[in-house]
Structure 1
Amino acid sequence: MTHNTPLSPRPLSHLGEAAQCRVLTTRALREHGVSTTVANERCRPGGPWQLLLPGVYLLRQGPPTSDERLHAALLYAGAERSPSPSRPGSLERAGHGPPAPAREAVITGLAALSLHGFAAAPSLRALDRIDVLVPRARRLRSTGCVRVVRGHGLPQPEEITGLPVAPVPRALADAVAQLTDAGIVRRLLIESVRGGHCEAAAVVAELTQARLLGRPHVVDAVDTLLAEGRALAEGRLYEMVFRHWLPEPCWNVDLRLPGGPPLGGVDAYWPDQAVALELDTRAPREDGAAQWSEYARKREALEGLGITVVHLTPGKLRESLEQQAAVVRTALMTAAERDPAEYVVVVPR
């Protein structure tokens, strides 16, 4: 076959219409019997193909679709392979797509949030750049519609429409790193918890890891995020008590010894059973060690007085409300088997 020999469509005839079949790399085309020279000739003005990214071709003319851009970005980053030509027709007969992506890169940032279904994120069509997260050691440059984001390690991706996508907390951190609009940052962070995508603590952990908490507009948004996360957790706590017919506690109270110093506040307290419940909505920030020390001190003091402390996290309430209700019910039912607790004063907050 010379460079002037007309290209036969036969080697590519078994490929389907899916985006990953219309977007191929130089290597994949070579495996299909198409040389780089021929591929480049087909991308000349008036030709049937186009070069989307270095070494990545779209086997048609016209603007690429969002799916084609996403697959092209991953192919450029080496995160997935093009369909293999080893057995023509095998893809259609088996009813399967291309081989599973090698996890060398994942979609992140605003593109990932759009794939996760965030209303506050721009649509994929509206994005000029697609962020692709790769290991820090990878020698890869941002180009065209691809912005390369480097990290010490890749998170376990979630598969959305067959694509490896960064989990919401990591995608948020990578998106926030590029944003300067405080309103957009706040809306994205709030939607992460209000939409049930993740817990506030997981988001703050990623923002801390990315060293973004030094930016004033991010700090303000995080404060709003934590308040939103706590409000949602308290709502689930009320739901747990009333849906599962638990005795109604004293809500949001401070405990103290008669005439003594305050012991600290709890989210719910059952005086007759001496059971206190505390929501752990602490977020891993710079003062995390001090927060943990204060929490441990309060719990030790209460348990030293014979008060049972039930510790719940927002994540546990979101994932297994019935199971957490059973934990609280057990603590209440076994109160009679314990030694009587010291009398404490209950003060509304």
Structure 2
Amino acid sequence: MNHNAPLSPLPLSHLSDVQRRVLSAAQLRAHGVSAARTAEQCRPGGPWQLLLPGVFVLHPGPPTSEERLHGALLYAGRPVIPAQGEPRSAAPRYGEAMITGLAALALHQFSSVPPLLSLERIDVLVPRTRRLRSTGCARLVRSRELPGAQEITGLPVAPVPRALADAVAELADPSAVRQLLTEAVRRGHCEPAAVVRELNRARLLNRPHVVDAVDSLLAQGRALAEDRLYDLVRDHGLPVPLWNVDLRLPGGPHVGGIDAYWPEQAVAVELDTRAPRQGEDALRSEYARKREHLERLGITVVHLTPRKLRESPEHQATVVRTALMAAADRDPAACVVVLPR
């Protein structure tokens, strides 16, 4: 055998640098490297090493964090190897596999997550039907439904809410869980509702330390949304409303709590900061009932979410201003008593 022969009849030019350093057995075969040649290269003291079953690092030193990520995806996924003459994508193909858990959060640049190289295991999200075992640095997380992956540094990565849920599932330290959830919201990675939805789906809301962290998360999420609403009123020159009030009918029942209210125009803003723990339908019904009650009284309700306030404050300010200006064309609202909340 001529060991100086080219590595393969297939060119390597379409592969990234890390893809040239980490290859699966199938990829090596496609590039003309036999199983015997691979075994010889991986002998003790040889130039290659076995990273995971069927996945090889083509250098003798310790694998980098990027190589471990790439290797875990190669092991867990079903990489597509193009035939001779077929177009080749510059991006790696890993089937449906994607990085999740703490490794994914590190790629999303969470500061409260240990560095990638210090993680013993890399969580890889795969379809439930994938028949492989966790081994070495790769831990497989099976799921009936996979989220759409986000690409970070050329790697498929689970969205933050799903990565959080998979990370929290493996954490027993209450402070670590609280720190992760807090950073997700404070740094604007995602909204509290999305986090709680994933934790609920993963059946993690029966763990006391997770419930405590979620309660703290929702409180912080609401405070952040209220700050954004204050900024919206100030920055866009809206009339100053009455903040955080309860509305009651004179001598009658409680109508509802409102985050901002303009009594002269009978316009109310309500922030939807609660997250579904016992089903979204019940929450939607509760919001709908309150809104219908207020509108029957002639009060215009502007419904805002934290995401809307964060992503499109100018548009939300226009919505509120339009509601205030339209008050002159509406019939007078019913008389309500406004009390501090």
Partner letter of residue 112 of structure 1? A
Q: Which residue in the other structure is 2:293 paired with?
A: 301
Unaligned runs of 5+ in 2: none
Q: Which residue in the other structure is 1:318 paired with?
A: 310
**Structure 1 pair 74/287, CA: closer, same or farther in 2 (3 Å)?**
closer
**Structure 1 pair 24/100, CA: closer, same or farther in 2 (3 Å)?**
closer
Identical columns (%): 66
Contact 2:270 2:301 in 1 (8 A): yes
Q: Which residue in the other structure is 1:239 paired with?
A: 231
Partner letter of residue 8 of structure 1? N
Instruction: Give me the whole-angstrom Cα distance separating, in 1, the residues matched to 2:80 and 2:51.
Output: 16
Instruction: Give me the whole-angstrom Cα distance separating, in 2, the residues matched to 1:329 and 1:25.
Output: 59
Deviation at residue 303 of structure 1 after TM alignment: 0.7
Partner letter of residue 106 of structure 1? M
> Secondary structure at 2:175's aligned position in 1?
helix
Q: Which residue in the other structure is 2:51 paired with?
A: 52
Q: 1:118 aligns with which of 89, 107, 110?
A: 110
Instruction: Give me the whole-angstrom Cα distance separating, in 1, the residues matched to 2:282 and 2:28.
Output: 58
Q: Which residue in the other structure is 1:21 paired with?
A: 20
Deviations 1:304-346 (A, max 9, x none): 1000010011111111000000000010000011100011111
Deviation at residue 190 of structure 1 after TM alignment: 0.5
Partner letter of residue 4 of structure 2? S
> Secondary structure at 2:213's aligned position in 1?
helix
Q: Which residue in the other structure is 2:327 paired with?
A: 335
Deviation at residue 295 of structure 1 after TM alignment: 2.3
Q: Which residue in the other structure is 1:94 paired with?
A: none
Instruction: Give me the whole-angstrom Cα distance separating, in 1, the residues matched to 2:16 and 2:96.
Output: 25
Deviations 1:229-276 (A, max 9, x none): 111111111111010000000000000111111111000000000001
Instruction: Give me the whole-angstrom Cα distance separating, in 1, the residues matched to 2:71 and 2:328.
Output: 65
Instruction: Give me the whole-angstrom Cα distance separating, in 1, the residues matched to 2:282 and 2:149.
Output: 33
Q: Which residue in the other structure is 1:8 paired with?
A: 4
- State whether structure 2 residue 37 is matched by structure 1 residue 41: no
Contact 1:11 1:85 in 2 (8 A): no
Partner letter of residue 57 of structure 2? L
Contact 1:268 1:278 in 2 (8 A): yes
Q: 1:150 aligns with which of 138, 142, 158?
A: 142
Deviation at residue 287 of structure 1 after TM alignment: 6.0
Deviation at residue 19 of structure 1 after TM alignment: 1.2
Partner letter of residue 127 of structure 1? L
Q: Which residue in the other structure is 2:261 paired with?
A: 269
Instruction: Give me the whole-angstrom Cα distance separating, in 1, the residues matched to 2:39 and 2:166.
Output: 34
Deviation at residue 294 of structure 1 after TM alignment: 2.9
Contact 1:32 1:85 in 2 (8 A): no
Instruction: Give me the whole-angstrom Cα distance separating, in 1, the residues matched to 2:112 and 2:101.
Output: 13
Instruction: Give me the whole-angstrom Cα distance separating, in 2, the residues matched to 1:79 and 1:67.
Output: 19
Instruction: Give me the whole-angstrom Cα distance separating, in 1, the residues matched to 2:53 and 2:247.
Output: 65
Contact 1:81 1:98 in 2 (8 A): no
Contact 2:246 2:254 in 1 (8 A): yes
TM-score, scaled relative to structure 2: 0.94
Partner letter of residue 150 of structure 2? E
**Structure 1 pair 274/79, CA: closer, same or farther in 2 (3 Å)?**
farther
Partner letter of residue 301 of structure 2? V
Instruction: Give me the whole-angstrom Cα distance separating, in 2, the residues matched to 1:279 and 1:159.
Output: 32
- State whether structure 2 residue 73 is matched by structure 1 residue 74: yes
Instruction: Give me the whole-angstrom Cα distance separating, in 2, the residues matched to 1:321 and 1:73.
Output: 41
Deviation at residue 285 of structure 1 after TM alignment: 0.5
Instruction: Give me the whole-angstrom Cα distance separating, in 1, the residues matched to 2:127 and 2:7.
Output: 34
Deviation at residue 155 of structure 1 after TM alignment: 0.6
Contact 2:49 2:57 in 1 (8 A): yes
Instruction: Give me the whole-angstrom Cα distance separating, in 2, the residues matched to 1:257 and 1:287.
Output: 30
Partner letter of residue 312 of structure 2? S
Q: 2:121 aligns with which of 120, 129, 144?
A: 129
Deviations 1:76-121 (A, max 9, x none): 1125457x6958xx99xxxxx7444244100000000000000111
